[in-house]
Amino acid sequence: MIEPVSPGEGMGVLHLFLTRRHDAAAAAPGAGKAVVDALEQVADTVQTHVFVGLGHKADLVVMLLDRDLVSLRRAQTTVMAAAHELFDLDWSYVSLTEGSEYTTTPEQYREQMAAKGVEGDDLERRVSEFAERMATYTANKLYPDLPAWEAMCFYPMSHRREGNDNWYALDHDERTRLMGEHGRSGRAFTGRVLQLVSGSTGIDDWEWGVTLLAHDVADLKEIVYTLRYDEASVRYAEFGPFVIGLRASPSDALELLALGGA
């Protein structure tokens, strides 16, 4: 049996984008239930999120997360073996959860506080509390347990590398400044939009996959619109296709697609 294959840190993230086959109505009775059973089986082994897509880009979106990439491959096999009569796998995206290279370190925070005149026990307490907060923040980035929020938006993106708008020609301090502005804009949506930015450089066609979860679809529209005014986006961002989905149980998803879910 193949051994587990896991990144040094973080989790694998696999998005499957399936479209309903034109001849799905002629599929054997029970084909829909087989897909439901497969999705429920997969959910017992890897973190699974199911969405029904709006528009033509996907009818069914299955998002899978696990530390073991072999487990993700087994989950994909299970889903597609059951779904092939009803769906085509038109697109997929592979990425890894990651922390941020632009996060302030405890040492940097200590210097900032000391420059403001904080010293002694007060400085040590603040640095300790900051380190704990950042450890929790990083753990949530690397090993997310995503909530069951109702609306999902996925898109891939890369940093531009053209002429004077070459992200990778900037020094680290300038990139940190730009990402700080971008981060502040995103934090304004805390509690309304959850952002999972997973890295895919060298793994898939773009550099990141961005998954946004929200209770209100309008918040997805607003956050993307707002962040596009940040200089990091205006000058240095390229975006791929956007896919919108509505969370559903496997049974409800198949029923909504008129493929039977019971």
pLDDT digits (tens, 9 = 90+) for 219-249: 999 999 999 999 999 999 999 999 999 999 9
The verdict on 91 and 179 lying in the same domain is no
> What's the domain count of the chain?
2
The verdict on 45 and 59 lying in the same domain is yes
Name the helix (H) or strand (E) containing 151: strand 151-159
Residues 6+ apart with CB under 8 A from 85: 21, 24, 27, 28, 31
Sole residue written with tokens 């059973």: 37
The verdict on 149 and 239 lying in the same domain is yes
Verify whether residue 155 is a known catalytic residue: yes
What is the band of 255 on the pLDDT scale with cuts at 50, 70, 90? very high
- The interaxial angle of helices 172-187 and 217-227, nearest 10 deg, is 150
Answer whether residue 5 is part of any domain: no
Burial class of 212 by CB neighbour count within 10 A (0 to 12, 13 to 18, 19+): buried
Answer whether residue 48 is part of any domain: yes
What is the band of 1 on the pLDDT scale with cuts at 50, 70, 90? confident
Answer whether residue 4 is part of any domain: no
Answer whether residue 126 is part of any domain: no
Work out whether strand 87-97 and strand 47-54 pair parallel, antiparallel, or are unpaired: unpaired
What is the band of 25 on the pLDDT scale with cuts at 50, 70, 90? confident
Sole residue written with tokens 């479209």: 19
The verdict on 216 and 252 lying in the same domain is no
CB 87 within 8 A of CB 65: no
The verdict on 94 and 77 lying in the same domain is yes
What residues make up the domain containing 213?
144-244
pLDDT in tens, 185-195: 999 999 999 99
The verdict on 226 and 252 lying in the same domain is no
Q: From CA 57, how far away is CA 55, in angstroms rounded?
A: 6
pLDDT in tens, 102-117: 888 899 999 999 999 9
How many residues are listed for the chain in this entry? 262
Burial class of 152 by CB neighbour count within 10 A (0 to 12, 13 to 18, 19+): buried
Examine the pLDDT at 94 and tell me if it is beyond 60: yes
pLDDT number for residue 261: 61
pLDDT number for residue 101: 86
3-state secondary structure of 23: coil
3-state secondary structure of 212: strand
Of the residues 93, 109, 155, 236, which is catalytic? 155
- The interaxial angle of helices 106-115 and 120-142, nearest 10 deg, is 150
The verdict on 165 and 81 lying in the same domain is no
3-state secondary structure of 118: coil
Examine the pLDDT at 183 and tell me if it is beyond 60: yes
